[in-house]
Structure 1
Amino acid sequence: MSTFYPEKLSVEYMDGTAATEPVIPRRYTLTHSDVTGELFLNIGIHYAWDKINPLRDEVLGEWKQCGSSLCFCVYLHVDQGEFKPSVSAKRNEIFRRELPLALTAIRYGDRFLFNRYPHLDQAPIIIQFMSAYPQFARQENWGTFQRISTKK
């Protein structure tokens, strides 16, 4: 896993979203610069589609009601069949390797929300790997933000 550097994270609240409200709807668009290593987190009631590049290597997340509690759902665009399986395999590997960093950045970037609602740290994180290839298309439970933030 890459190291998270808070000073390389820029956070922008968009369209009616503030540091602590609302929880639902609350959507996250995390993008990055391969050149500088900077991370850009947009938090809003909609995804920041205008920030997404053609490679589709962003991390999209949102809070959802899951029964009587909340869960954090993440959507990763491995492919839509536009790549050869070997390219999709590499993208899948990169997403898996960098996902703990991405989740740490989201948690840190929205820390004021987590401070106001500490129970969000115990919400399950559900990852949806989206792919045209069955070997990469899957849904997984990645634990909780509490578990991720205490992992070394």
Structure 2
Amino acid sequence: MCDRVLVQLQGWYNRLQRDEVVAEWEEVQGRRSLHVHCHVSGGHALLAPIAGLRRSIFRRELPMVLKAFVHGDGALFGSRPELEEAAVWVYFHSNLPEFDRVECWGPLREAASSGPPSSPPPRASE
């Protein structure tokens, strides 16, 4: 019975927090790029007050995630070293316009070692 309650609570927490990072390769005009999606805030009112904090945590920790990705897929990068030069696009998804943005972090090799641009770029409407 305790296990069932724990699983239900974990499911609720996962739906509320959505701390996962999802990445996918895309090819546009013959060039590959890596698109990384991070959930900053959404339909849950509880996440709105901490959206800025969540975005800053994702920005701080994402280089480690990218480094682990490159390490974990070493065979892929060994056979396709050009993928380390692919542009990394990071999507911060939020229902709050000030936190819903896309950032280009440059080539994967740099994004995994030096991290995000020094400051988030302004939104197009700013």
Alignment partner of 1:53: what SS? helix
Structure 2 runs not aligned, ≥5 long: 1-10, 116-126
| Range 87-96 or range 75-84, more displaced | 75-84
Matching residue of 2:62: 99
Structure 1 runs not aligned, ≥5 long: 1-49
- Equivalent residues in 2 for 1:2-81 (5 A)? 53-54=14-15, 55-81=17-43
* Amino acid in structure 2 at the alignment position of 1:134: P
Alignment of 1:140 with 2:120, yes or no, is no
Cα distance in 1 for residues equivalent to 2:65 and 2:24: 14
Query: In structure 2, do the counterparts of structure 1 residues 72 and 146 end up closer, same or farther at CA, with 3 Å as the change threshold?
Result: same
Q: TM-score, normalised by structure 2?
A: 0.73
Cα distance in 2 for residues equivalent to 1:120 and 1:142: 14
Aligned length: 102
Alignment partner of 2:36: what SS? strand
- Please tell me whether Structure 1 or Structure 2 has the larger radius of gyration of its CA atoms: 2
Task: Choose the corresponding residue for 2:82, options 119, 126, 145.
Answer: 119
Residue by residue, what CA displacement relative to the aligned partner does 1:10-69 show, whole Å, maximum 9, x if unpaired? xxxxxxxxxxxxxxxxxxxxxxxxxxxxxxxxxxxxxxxx9x932200110011112221
Q: Is the 8 A contact 1:76 1:128 kept in 2?
A: yes
Cα distance in 2 for residues equivalent to 1:84 and 1:94: 14
Query: In structure 2, do the counterparts of structure 1 residues 81 and 53 end up closer, same or farther at CA, with 3 Å as the change threshold?
Result: closer
Query: In angstroms, what is the RMSD of aligned CA positions?
Result: 2.1
Residue by residue, what CA displacement relative to the aligned partner does 1:109-139 show, whole Å, maximum 9, x if unpaired? 1111011101101100001110000111001
**More strand per residue:** 1
Q: Give, in angstroms, the shift of residue 101 of structure 1.
A: 0.9
Alignment partner of 1:135: what SS? coil
* Amino acid in structure 2 at the alignment position of 1:91: R
Query: Structure 1 stretches (4+) deviating beyond 2 angstroms?
Result: 83-86, 148-152
- Percent identity for Structure 1 against Structure 2: 35
Q: Is the 8 A contact 2:91 2:102 kept in 1?
A: yes
